[in-house]
A = this chain, B = another copy of it.
Amino acid sequence: MRADASAADIEAVCARIRELGFSPHQLPGKTRVAIGITGNSGAIDPDLFARSPGIAEAVPVSKPWKLVSREVKPDHTVITLGGPPGAPATIGGGHFTVMAGPCAVESRDQLLTTARAVRAAGAKVLRGGAYKPRTSPYAFQGMKEQGLALLAEARAETGLPVITEIVDTRDVDVVAEHADVLQIGARNMQNFALLEAVGHVRKPVLLKRGLSATLQEWLMAAEYIVSKGNYQVILCERGIRTFETMTRNTLDLGAIPLLKRLTHLPVIVDPSHGTGDYRSVPPLARAAAALGADGLMIEVHPDPARALSDGPQSLTPAKFAALMDSVRAIAEVVGLVL
């Protein structure tokens, strides 16, 4: 739609789409609204819309992902989360947003200590896992609802919006009630039932890339969420599985500039899982800023040696603060607002 299209123009186009038996999706951008169409099985004649008032252009989409593509919506998607007074967390559109916190919520003290520290260093979102997907059934599985309550408490104290992982369709309601951003982990990237379930929620979703997911599959997974009406999706590159075993994963930073061309969704980077070693986290975080990613997700723990999960890749609060300084300097050079 044109920037000067009225709400009535937009509604008229949506009504026309419904009349044809399809579903309209309003995708708001910085200055104008794009309307995506789903539910068609073949191509739709663009001329059907050529004369509707307020239409800028009718574009057939050439990719299997539609609503998340730049073709449908050239503008960046920008997501606003709330946050401390005067400093809402904004993701996308020129901001460089850092989410930080422990891998797992382990105790009230551990979480609050970390939350205060990362906030002081400049993080805008607090992360912390309450439901932990673990390779072994005998490993610590997370504090679950108790963890959610602690996250809510940490938000109340620090003002930081919180993000936490969701691993079961049956938990969608309780997690959506407590968290500001719902995280879909790498192992659930193609848990389509879960994608559909969070597609019906009206809270932002952070979708991690699967361990062996192609970019196309990842975008299709995002399309699952968006096609259900939840347009607030953040992509998070966290490393893929390759033959290399000296690093925990292979962080695919080359995917970032390509994704920025293919999709309007924000893309952030998780160097903690991407390398598995706290010593490599700061240089990779700087690289992500230099590349023009939209932010970072970083694991921070007050006592990494005693962490119940992911200790080797967690930064201490002091190392995290130092990292923020160097990332800030890089972000400035490339014109991003930290």
Contact = CB atoms under 8 A, between A and B. Distances in A.
20 contacts: A136-B220, A137-B227, A168-B193, A187-B192, A211-B212, A215-B246, A216-B246, A240-B244, A242-B242, A242-B250, A246-B258, A250-B254, A251-B253, A253-B253, A254-B271, A261-B279, A284-B291, A287-B288, A326-B334, A330-B330
Interface string A275-297: 10101100110111111100000
Interface in A209-237: 211-212, 214-217, 220, 223-224, 227-228
Contact of A244 (B227, B255, B326, B329): B255
Interface centre among A138, A169, A227 (most CB of B within 10 A): A138
Contacts of A252: 242, 244, 250-251
A284 B254 contact: yes
A223 B162 CA distance: 32
Contacts of A216: 246
A251 B250 CA distance: 9
Among A217, A254, A255, chain B packs the most CB atoms within 10 A around the CB of: A254
Nearest to A281: B257
A135 B242 contact: no
A188 B210 CA distance: 12
B283 A136 contact: no
Interface in A27-85: 38, 64
B239 A242 contact: no
* 9 A-B pairs with the lowest CB-CB distances in the bound complex, closest first: A212-B212, A168-B193, A290-B290, A287-B287, A187-B190, A286-B290, A257-B280, A137-B224, A251-B254
Contacts of A258: 246-247, 275, 277, 280
A243 B246 contact: no
A277 B262 CA distance: 14
A304 interface: no
A48 to B, nearest CB: 20
Most buried by B among A217, A223, A255, A279: A255
Contact of A240 (B239, B250, B274): B250
A103 interface: no
Nearest to A261: B279
A241 interface: yes
Nearest to A168: B193
A283 B279 contact: no
Contact of A223 (B136, B249, B334): B136
Contacts of A334: 286, 326, 330
Contacts of A240: 242-244, 250
Interface string A253-270: 111111001000000000
Interface string A107-135: 00000000000000000000000000111
A158 interface: no
B275 A133 contact: no
A255 B247 contact: yes
Given A168-B193, A169-B170, A330-B290, A256 B283 contact: yes
A167 interface: yes
A191 interface: yes
B289 A290 contact: yes
